[in-house]
Amino acid sequence: MTRQPRQLLPGFCYHITVRCNNREFNLRQLICRQLLLYCIQKSQIKFGYKLYGLCIMSNHVHYLLEPLLPEDLPKIMHWLNWYTAMCFNRLLRRKGHFWEQRYHSSGFESSDHERVLNTLRYIHANPKAAKMQVGFFYDFSNYGSYGRLVEDGLTQWHQAFLSLGKTLEECATQYRGFCRRYKPKRKETQYSRWGSSFLSGLSSRLSPRKRRAISPGQAILPGFQGCQVSVSPEIDQVISRFLMANSYQIGGA
């Protein structure tokens, strides 16, 4: 089946979703999330795009961005995924594809404020929907920059947010209320039934193996909780500024 061409039009912004290959939870390690922030800044300097929404989960990333030129979108994502894949594979001592082969992209007019706000809320609600947080504040999403009116060094407010009130404080209050009213739908994993009868008969003939522990999923972030990226002051500055603006510990629920 041929791939559908992406809709690349002027004045559009794009909701991008990028998943780890095989949906592995490689981003649950804090050091990877921190390094991704720095890589995003490098891509912004290189391509000059606007980043309105960001949320880094354990096995995928959400972006809401607007490229300088429509045809820049594939270049942005190709460079960002290539650069981060090389960094993460070297960091984690792994080989092969780090990201899934193709990112998901949904484009719409940047002037469609209702669509923009709904997309931002969906992105910012991901940690709550995954039961990683009680509320919307989360260290690795930019909800805090909207809710606290602070600059995190990577993202900026969309005009849809700025149109919510006459003052910035009113805009933030309206957006916080807009998010609190959101009730995310439960996502049920769909499995293919193809080959089920064959595999069930085959599995009984295989030699017994040690039972693997159930994956902790996105709710637990083990291993690298205390790890910090300290490659250079430049990287530390990017990480510190973003976390100070959006950290759950500072913002509460």
Angstrom distance (rounded) from CA 99 to CA 197: 31
Sequence-distant (6+) residues with CB within 8 A of 215 are 25
Angstrom distance (rounded) from CA 21 to CA 116: 28
Helices then strands, counting H and E runs in the chain, come out as: 10, 4
Q: What is the pLDDT of residue 227?
A: 40
Q: Kindly tell me if the per-residue pLDDT of 1 is higher than 70.
A: no
Quick: pLDDT tens for 45-102. Answer: 999 999 999 999 999 999 999 999 999 999 999 999 999 999 888 888 888 889 987 8
Sequence-distant (6+) residues with CB within 8 A of 162 are 168, 171
Q: What is the pLDDT of residue 211?
A: 44
pLDDT tier at 145, thresholds 50, 70, 90? very high
| CATH number 3.30.70.1290 given to 12-184+229-248 | yes
Q: Kindly tell me if the per-residue pLDDT of 10 is higher than 50.
A: yes
- For the chain, the average pLDDT equals 83
**Residue extents of the structural domains in the chain:** 12-184+229-248
Quick: pLDDT tens for 213-239. Answer: 433 333 333 333 334 444 578 888 999
Average pLDDT over residues 128-143: 91
